[in-house]
Amino acid sequence: MKTLRQRLHNTTTANLWLLAGLLVALLPHLLRIPLIISAAASVLLGWRLGYELHYLRLPPRLWRWLLALLAAIIIYSSFHSLVGRQAGVALLVLMLGLKLLEMNGPRDFSVTCYLGFFLISTVFLFTQSILTGLFMLLATTLLLTALVAQYRGTEYHDTQHISESMNLRKAALIVAQALPLTVLLFVLFPRIPGPLWQLPNDRSGAKTGISDSMSPGMISQLSNDNSVAFRVRFASEPPPPAQLYWRGPVLTVFDGRTWFNPDHKKPWSKVSTRSRYQALNAAISYTVTLEPHQQRWLFALDLPAMLPADSILSPDYEIIARHNVEQLRRYDMQSYPYYALAQTEAPPERPYLQLPTGVGPQARVLARAMLAQAGSKAAMVKRVLQYFRQQPFYYTRQPPLLLGDPIDEFLFNSRRGYCEHYAASFVFLMRAAGIPARVVTGYRGGEMNPLSDYFIVRQSDAHAWTEVWLAGKGWLRVDPTTVIPVSRIENQLDRLRIAPDGISNVSLSWAHQAWRQLGFNWDLVNRAWNQWIINYNNRRQQDFLQKIMARFGFADIDWQTMILTMLLSLFAILAGYAWWLLRRSEMKHRKDPVQRYYTNYCHKLDRSGLARQVAEGAWDFAQRAQQRFPEHSKAIVEIAGLYNRLRYAPWPRKEDVHRLQKAVRCFPNRIKYPQALQE
C-alpha cells in the first residue's frame, strides 16, 4: 500500500493547487447556498481529490451526463428557476464541480481555472467586505499558482527541480505587479450611475435585519447579531439616547399571530405620500451609511425633515426607496427629534383599530376593565404602562415559545418576552380599548465609536415600539419596554440599551471590554473601506479627481479628460515596468554566479593569449581553446559543458554551479606554453 506522501509525490501538483484555489473560492458560497447543493459540490471536489491521490476513478461520460441532469433538477427544485443571483451561482458551483470530473489535459485545466476566476467574482455579488476581498485575493493567488505550475510542467518536462515555493512566489509576484494597474483603473476608470447589468429579481435571496412583518420571536432572533446595520455621523451634538429611535416599517394589521402592513406590497409609485406633522424644535443633520438589507426601508431618526434621493414618505412616516437596498447606500438626512404627528385629523378606524376575531379574549376583558378604571384614553395609556411595570414582566432575549394565543399567553402566563411581545400586546390592549394604535419597528440607540466621531447601529439594536393617537395630541410614541425595571432585564447589554438614557449599574469584565475595543478598531477599518472603496461612486470619483486636477491647474474635469489621464497613467506604469524588467535583467546578469565564473575563465584564457570573440559561443570557443591548449582539453570541455547546462537548462542544479566554480578555480591563471607564446 502506498502512503499518502507517496501518492502526493506521484500526482500533478498543478491539479492540487487548482483544487486548493477552488476550495477557497467555494467556501463563501457553501455557507450561503442550500445544504444539498453544498454537499453535492463538496462531494464532487472530494471525488477529484481522490482521483488525484489515486484512490478513485473518474466516472464515464454517461454518468457525467446523468449527474449534470440531476444537478439541474436539484437547483430548479431549490430555487424554482435556473436564473437569478442565488440560482445562477448554485448552477455555476455544481457545473464547476462536474467539470472537475472530466478535466483531462491542459485545455480542460485552463478552462477550469478560468471558471474558478469567474466564481471568485460572483462572491462579490453578495458581499464586498474587506475580509471577503482578502479571502478572494488568496483564492486568486492559489489559482495563479496552479496556472504557473501547469505551464512549467507543460513547457519543461523535467520538473523534479521545481519547488512549489517557487511556483507560489511567481504567482505572488504576478499579483503584486497587477496591484498598481488595479489601483489606477479603480481610481480613474469612468464610473457610470447604476450597475453595468441588471440581475433578475431574486426572490430567494437572503434578507437580513428588520423585516416587513413581525411575529413573536422574530426580532429577538437578531438580539445576538452584532453585525452592523448602519453607521451615522452627526453634524453637531447628537440627540440624547432617549431620542435615538431609528424609524423603519410601520405595521398596522394583525392576523392573530403576525403583524404586517398591506401597503408594503404595493408598487413604489402607488404608495400614498400624505403626511402631516408639526416640528417642535430645530432639525438636526446627520449622514447615514446603510448596509445592504435587500429591502426598501431607509432608516432615519423620528421624524424626517427631508428625504434622500429616489425615496418617498409614506402616510405612516416611513422612508421607502424606489428599489431594494442591495448595495451600500449613503445619504444625508435631517430630522426633528421633538414633533407632533397629525394632531387635528383623526385616523381611520381601519386599520388602526383592527383586531382579529377570536384572539386575546382575556386581553379584551382586561382592556375594558382598565379603561373603566382609567376614565379616559390618555389615562388608559398610563394604566397599561403601570401594569407592565408592577406585574412580574421580564425582558429576555430567550422568550418562551407561544404556541397558542400569543397575546393572552404573554400577558397572563409567560410574562417573559422581547420588545416585539411588549409592543404587540400593548397595541392590542389599546385597540381593544378603542384607541388607534400601531406597531413601529426599526432600531433603538446606537454606540459611539470612541476612536472616531460616528455611531454604530447593529442588528442587535433592532427594536419595536408603538404609537397611539389621542385627540388633541395626535400620534404619540410609547415604548412599553422602557418601563420594565432594570432588575427584570436579564441581559446586561440590554440594560444599557433599554434603560432610560442608558442609566444602569452594568459593569463589564475586562475581557469583554478588550473585545469591544478590538471591535471598535475593526469597525473603523470597515468604515474606511466602505467610504473609500465600496462607496466610491461617480459623484465621489468626480469630487476626488477634481481636487487632484485642481492642483495641476485644471478647473474642470470631464470623462474625456479622465480617459486621457487614465491612458497616460497606464503608459507611464507600463513604461516603468519595462524599465524595471530591463534593469532587473541587467542586474541579474551582473549578479549571476554562472556568468561571473565563466567570465573569469575567459579572462584566464585571454591572459594566456586566446581571446574570446564577441559573438562566439561557448562550444566554439572551447574548440579553439582545445586546439591551442590540448593539455587542458578535459578541463575546457567540462567548463563549457557545465556553462551551457547551467545557462540553458530550465532549472539548473546547485551542485553544477559548485562544480563550475571549482573547475574555473582549478584552471590555471596563465598557460605558459611555447605554442601559446609563439602566436
Is 417 part of any domain? yes
Q: Which three cell numbers stand for residue 637?
A: 570541455
Specify if 243 maps to a domain: yes
For residue 127, the Cα-to-chain-centroid distance in whole angstroms is 3
- Asked whether residue 2 carries a pLDDT value surpassing 60, the answer given is no
Residues 400, 453: one domain? Answer: yes
- Decide if 302 is inside a domain: yes
Of 452, 459, 460, 462, nearest to 523 by C-alpha is: 452
Tell me the average pLDDT across 73-82: 87
Phi, psi (rounded to 5 degrees) for 129 = -70, 165
pLDDT at 93 over 50: yes
Are both 442 and 561 inside the same structural domain? no
Residue 207 domain flag: no
* 433 and 420 within one domain: yes
The secondary structure of residue 158, as a DSSP letter, is -
Judgement on whether residues 437 and 461 belong to the same structural domain of the protein: yes
| pLDDT bracket for residue 3 (50, 70, 90) | low
The total number of structural domains in the chain stands at 4
Identity of the amino acid at 575 = A
537-571 tens-digit pLDDT: 777 777 777 777 667 666 666 666 667 777 787 78
Q: What is the pLDDT of residue 503?
A: 44
SS (H, E, C) 429-486: HHHHCCCCEEEEEEEECCEECCCCCCEEEEHHHEEEEEEEEECCCEEEEECHHHHCCH
Could you tell me if residue 206 is inside a domain? Answer: no
pLDDT digits (tens, 9 = 90+) for 661-679: 899 999 988 887 554 444 4
Q: Are strands 447-448 and 455-458 parallel, antiparallel or unpaired?
A: antiparallel
What's the mean pLDDT in 326-332?
A: 88
Per-residue model confidence (pLDDT) at position 472: 81
Query: Is residue 30 a part of any domain in this protein?
Result: yes
Element counts in the chain: helices (H) and strands (E)? 22, 20
Cβ contact 111:99 at 8 Å: yes
Do 142 and 237 sit in the same domain of this protein?
A: no
pLDDT at 645: 85
Q: Residue 528 is which amino acid?
A: A
Q: Residue 240, CB half-sphere, CA atoms under 13 Å: how many?
A: 7
Side-chain-side CA neighbours of 117 within 13 Å: the count stands at 11
CA-to-CA distance for 578 and 610, rounded, in angstroms?
A: 38
Percentage, residues of the chain above pLDDT 70: 85
Q: Three-state DSSP class for 285?
A: strand
pLDDT single digits (tens) 203-215:
444 445 688 889 8
Question: C-alpha cell of 123?
Answer: 462572491
- Are 237 and 328 in the same domain? yes
Average pLDDT (80-106) is: 88
Query: Are residues 495 and 553 both part of a single domain?
Result: no
In a domain, 424, yes or no: yes
Q: Residues 468, 430: contact at Cβ < 8 Å?
A: yes
Range of the domain at 601: 592-678
Spatial separation of the C-alpha atoms in residues 214 and 338, rounded to whole Å: 27
Task: Return the pLDDT at 436.
Answer: 93
| Domain co-membership, 585 together with 610 | no
**Mean pLDDT of the residues in the chain:** 83
Residues 51-70, mean pLDDT to the nearest whole number: 88
Same domain, 612 and 655: yes
Say if residue 13 is in the same domain as residue 146: yes
Diameter of the chain measured on Cα atoms: 135
pLDDT score at 466:
96
CB neighbour class for 520 (10 Å; exposed up to 12, middle 13-18, buried from 19)? middle
> By mean pLDDT, which of 67-76, 138-147, 422-431 is the weakest?
67-76
pLDDT at 497: 66
- Torsion angle (degrees, nearest 10) of CA 105, 111, 114, 115: -120
Lowest mean pLDDT across 219-228, 236-245, 448-457, 550-559: 550-559
Which of the two residues, 426 and 87, has the higher pLDDT score? 426
In order of 210, 217, 393, 463, 518, the CA distances from 221 in angstroms are 11, 6, 20, 11, 24
* pLDDT tens-digit series, residues 471-502: 888 889 999 999 999 888 887 777 766 655 44
Please, what is the angle between helix 593-607 and helix 633-648, to 10°?
150
In a domain, 529, yes or no: no
Structure letter (DSSP) for residue 130: H
Asked whether 236 and 284 are in contact (CB, 8 A), the reply is: yes
Same domain, 633 and 663: yes
Lowest mean pLDDT among 70-84, 366-380, 649-663: 649-663
pLDDT band at 223; cut points 50, 70, 90: confident
DSSP class of residue 532 equals: I
Which sign does the torsion angle of CA 475, 476, 479, 480 carry? negative
The pLDDT of residue 443: 94
* Catalytic residue set: 419, 463, 479
- Which SS3 state, helix, strand or coil, does residue 229 take? strand
Cβ contacts of 213 within 8 Å, gap of 6 or more: 251, 258, 259, 260
CA contacts within 13 A on the Cβ side of 418: 26
User: What count of Cα atoms within 13 Å lies in the side-chain half-sphere of residue 113?
Assistant: 24
- Is the same domain home to 421 and 308? yes
Report residue 381 as a C-alpha cell.
395609556
Return the ∠ at Cα 122 (arms to 120 and 124), rounded to 5°.
Answer: 90
> For the purposes of burial, counting CB atoms within 10 Å of the CB of 257, is it exposed (0-12), middle (13-18) or buried (19 or more)?
middle
SS3 (DSSP) at 18: helix
How confident is the model over 621-646, as pLDDT tens digits? 999 999 889 899 999 999 999 888 88
